[in-house]
Amino acid sequence: MPEARFAQALRTELAHDAARLGRRKLGSIFFGGGTPSLMAPESVAALIEDATSLFDPLPDMEITLEANPTSVEASRLSAFRQAGVNRVSLGIQALDDASLQFLGRQHSARQALAALETARTLFPRITFDLIYARPGQSLADWKAELDTALQLVADHVSLYQLTIEPGTKFEALYRTGAFTLPDEDQAAALYEETATVTGRHGLAGYEVSNYAKPGSESRHNLTYWRYGDYLGLGPGAHGRVTQGTDLFATRRHRAPEPWADLVERTGTGQTSQEALVPLERAREMLLMGLRVSEGLTLPRFEARTGLTLEQATDPTILAAAIEEGYLQRSATTLRATPEGRLRLEALLHALVL
């Protein structure tokens, strides 16, 4: 699809939804999914201008763009800064070429480091991601890699443990024995070392996989984790939007061409809008809120879902999780402890109705 057509469809969809929703406060814009840094900087500038004129931007609005550290994309960073982007997210993933090849990345470790150097001269805020618990990765390897990266950019980082997703090429290779992954104890040691190294650089783990200096947390992602409203535009985008007393889950057509066709015919590529019932809201809010170190504010949980915590969870599991030190509850909050976040997936599966 021509870039100009894609960008115009996004602008059309944005205007359509702004007319429907009214002039709401705008705290962040996130250009993500696919390869947004291949968009023309002029298109990004136009979308930012549209959004800030159609909504009410906060004075410190965060505008993030995801980019890959290939030489082609890195060369465009200056133009994106001039377009209005004030935070860049680089998909580094690893700092050695063998791991990058295993992960299917197109950039080299040298390009990754060069992109980090370039980005920090241009943007007031930078983040990047790394994947750990890779095949053959020792604790010392991970510590050295993380230290190297944080010496360049040390205000925010996303650190993900490698997992095998069903139906992927990694699963097929894993089943053949082509590689092995760290066992549970080794993975826990890597996770704990991650907290140690990031802490030494002044970053706190504010979410299961995200670490930041105070004030550098991702405002956009905190909207997800705090279960706020967000408008998702473009192919495959999801959203959560409050209208009246209802909270709607929205979805756009996944395929770019049909999405653009739909936008050009109707003004929007939206294919579904479902009002979430209270238990669905509660489930989502727990799944999101227990990921962050601050946890859930219980009065807001009740206001957002219409349910008490006891109505939304298994009371036996809730009591046991608190007793065993996986959850902490006060009069107004519920949060997962560091031990609880290590086991969060299993804990949530048992806890949430």
Domains of the chain: 25-223 (3.30.750.200), 228-277 (no CATH), 279-351 (1.10.10.920)
What six digits make up the tokens of 172? 């097929």
Could you tell me if 212 and 155 are in contact, meaning their C-beta atoms sit under 8 angstroms apart? Answer: yes
3-class SS shares of the chain: helix, strand, coil, % to 5 = 50, 20, 30
CB of 181 closer than 8 Å to CB of 102: no
Q: How far apart are CA 30 and CA 65, in angstroms?
A: 6
Cα separation, 240 vs 236, in Å, equals 14
The per-residue pLDDT string of the chain (353 residues; one tens digit each, 9 = 90 and over) reads 899 999 999 999 999 999 999 999 999 999 998 778 789 999 999 999 999 999 999 999 999 999 999 877 878 999 999 999 999 999 999 999 999 999 989 999 999 999 999 999 999 999 999 999 998 899 999 999 999 999 988 799 999 999 888 888 888 888 888 888 888 888 889 999 999 999 999 999 999 999 999 999 999 999 999 999 999 999 999 999 999 999 999 999 999 999 999 999 999 999 999 999 999 999 999 999 999 999 999 999 999 999 999 999 999 999 999 999 999 999 999 999 999 998 898 999 999 98
| Terminal-to-terminal C-alpha distance of the chain | 43
Residue with tokens 């959004």: 51
326 touches 339 (CB < 8 A)? yes
Which is it for strands 327-329 and 56-67: parallel, antiparallel or unpaired? unpaired
Determine the pLDDT at residue 32: 93
350: left (phi over 0), alpha (psi -120 to 50) or beta: alpha
Phi, psi of 62 (to 5 degrees): -95, 130
Q: Can you give the length of the chain in residues?
A: 353
Q: What is the rounded CA–CA span in Å between residue 119 and residue 123?
A: 6
Q: How many CB atoms lie within 10 A of CB 57?
A: 17
Q: Facing residues of 212 across strands?
A: 156, 204
Helix/strand/coil for 353: coil
Helix 41-54 to helix 3-21 angle (10° resolution) is 10
237 burial level (CB within 10 Å; 0-12, 13-18, 19+) = buried
Closest CA to 285 of 267, 303, 260, 266: 303
CA distance linking residue 233 with residue 11, whole number of Å: 9
Give the integer Cα–Cα distance in Å for 191 and 341: 11
